[in-house]
Amino acid sequence: MELKLARSENDAKPKKIDLKKLTEMVEKNNSLILYFDRENSHKDLLSLQDHFEKEGKSFYMREVKFGLSASEYMYEVHIL
């Protein structure tokens, strides 16, 4: 599974990260806060939640709006 990280610029393309890399980052740091792009499907993020909860981690996700437009949001994910 590949997910897109949040863009640093509004007109930039989002960078991709795979599940293996995310798992390595969580194991190394024991907790992680990431921001994912709005182009990710909600279904993929729920699959990510299932994966980490099966490993015994706590998972918190929310939408963060950064503008007035309905398309100006990203997903904030905490994995503990």
Assigned token pair, 4: 């897109």
Range of the domain at 13: 2-79
Assigned token pair, 46: 């729920």
* DSSP-based three-state secondary structure for 60: strand
pTM comes to 0.89
pLDDT in tens, the chain (80 residues): 899 999 988 788 999 999 999 999 999 999 999 999 999 999 999 999 999 999 999 999 999 998 888 889 999 999 99
Residue-level pLDDT at 10: 79
As for how many domains the chain has, the answer is: 1
